[in-house]
């Protein structure tokens, strides 16, 4: 990671909806994060830590979810995840896309055993927005939604799970894509591109693209970090607290974060309508 982010990467992000880099995390941090991720997964699976939208706590039920939200919580005892959110190699790229004033988005682990069939099917990250609207409705959503954030996946082992349709974040769906988004979620889309990451590589990508997570049959596992940071503006309006982030209101969360991540946390929390 040296100098400015190449303009061709910024252009690719806006035009195709993604770009891949080798240097958004230091190799030594990758090596520290792998055992931390396995430890967090083991704690959730055993019930030593319960991870739910309401709280992150100890001595709870085991959980077989493939995505573990809340790994920056102190109950996991793995501060490297919060450290990673404000590390210079990552911020080098986020700043190029969003500017330097940021607030907390989210972080989660994808942990999928190789023997499991894992396939999310085709979708856009529309949340509660209309998913089967007219062209006018869909283009209004694409023009408005998620313009203030950047999300990424970082591979802790080789990862070829993400598929996306380049450029689909800029346009209305085709008839074939409509069928995949609403009925046959596992259909083949000829324009789709498989995003193949080597250990330590990061893909920054737009969740408004038509995309799918699918573990290849030959893959031994999926172990990846998903994260997002949000552009922060002084006049950002308050927002309803999402259930999936309610655990972050606990007093213990902020104290467990590094100073810069505390700043991101404070900016997020002051906007929450709990």
Of the candidates 248, 234, 204, the residue with the CA atom closest to the CA atom of residue 91: 204
The pLDDT tens digits of the residues spanning 158-178 come to 999 999 999 999 999 999 999
Q: At what angle do helices 7-16 and 88-98 cross, to 10 degrees?
A: 60
Helix, coil or strand: residue 209: coil
How much of the chain, in percent, has pLDDT values that exceed 70? 97
Distance (Å, whole) CA 129 – CA 123: 12
Which residues, other chains included, contact 118 with Cβ-Cβ below 8 Å and sequence gap of 6+?
66, 112, 161, 213, 214, 215, 222
Q: How confident is the model at residue 2 (pLDDT cuts 50, 70, 90)?
A: low
Q: Look up residue 273 and give its two tokens.
A: 């309508």
> Mean of the pLDDT values across residues 195-206?
98
* Statement: residue 24 has pLDDT above 90: yes
* Statement: residue 113 has pLDDT above 80: yes
> Mean of the pLDDT values across residues 196-214?
97
What pLDDT does residue 69 have?
86
- Tell me if 86 sits within 8 A of 264, measured CB to CB: yes
CA atoms within 13 A on the CB side of 95: 14
Distance (Å, whole) CA 98 – CA 10: 11
What pLDDT does residue 13 have?
98
What pLDDT does residue 59 have?
80
Answering whether pTM is above 0.75, one says yes
Distance (Å, whole) CA 91 – CA 111: 24
Helix, coil or strand: residue 24: coil
- Tell me if 176 sits within 8 A of 143, measured CB to CB: no
What pLDDT does residue 128 have?
87
What pLDDT does residue 61 have?
73
The pLDDT tens digits of the residues spanning 39-85 come to 999 999 888 998 776 778 888 776 667 889 889 999 999 999 999 99
What does the mean pLDDT of the chain come to? Answer: 94
Instruction: Fill in the DSSP letter of residue 214.
Output: B
The pLDDT tens digits of the residues spanning 128-154 come to 899 999 999 999 999 999 999 999 999
Q: How confident is the model at residue 233 (pLDDT cuts 50, 70, 90)?
A: very high
What pLDDT does residue 55 have?
77
Helix, coil or strand: residue 91: helix
Instruction: Fill in the DSSP letter of residue 245.
Output: G
Distance (Å, whole) CA 50 – CA 190: 41
* Statement: residue 261 has pLDDT above 70: yes
* Statement: residue 235 has pLDDT above 70: yes
For the chain, list the domains and their CATH numbers. 7-273 (2.60.120.620)
Burial class of residue 97 in the structure, from the number of CB atoms within 10 Å of its CB (0-12 exposed, 13-18 middle, 19+ buried) = middle
Of the candidates 224, 262, 209, 273, the residue with the CA atom closest to the CA atom of residue 103: 262
């Amino acid at each position: 990671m040296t100098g400015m982010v190449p303009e061709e990467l910024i252009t690719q992000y806006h035009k195709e909806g993604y770009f891949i880099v080798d240097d958004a995390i230091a190799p030594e941090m990758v090596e520290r994060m792998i055992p931390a991720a396995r430890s967090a997964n083991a704690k959730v699976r055993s019930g030593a830590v319960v991870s739910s939208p309401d709280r992150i706590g100890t001595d709870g039920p085991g959980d077989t979810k493939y995505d573990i939200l809340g790994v920056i919580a102190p109950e996991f005892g793995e501060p490297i995840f919060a450290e990673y959110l404000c590390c210079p190699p990552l911020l080098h790229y986020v700043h190029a896309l969003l500017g330097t004033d940021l607030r907390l988005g989210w972080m989660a682990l994808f942990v999928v055993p190789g023997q499991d069939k894992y396939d999310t099917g085709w979708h856009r990250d529309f949340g509660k927005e209309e998913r089967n609207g007219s062209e006018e409705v869909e283009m209004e959503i694409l023009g408005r939604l998620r313009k203030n954030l950047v999300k990424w996946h970082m591979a802790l082992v080789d990862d070829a799970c993400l598929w996306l349709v380049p450029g689909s974040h800029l346009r209305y769906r085709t008839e074939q894509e409509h069928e995949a988004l609403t009925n046959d979620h596992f259909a083949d889309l000829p324009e789709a591109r498989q995003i193949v990451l080597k250990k330590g590589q990061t893909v920054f990508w737009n969740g408004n693209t038509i995309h799918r997570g699918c573990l290849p049959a030959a893959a031994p596992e999926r172990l990846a970090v998903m994260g997002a940071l949000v552009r922060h503006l002084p006049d950002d309006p308050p927002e309803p607290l999402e259930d999936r982030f309610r655990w972050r209101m606990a007093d213990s969360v902020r104290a467990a974060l590094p100073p810069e991540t505390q700043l991101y946390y404070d900016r997020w929390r002051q906007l929450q309508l709990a």
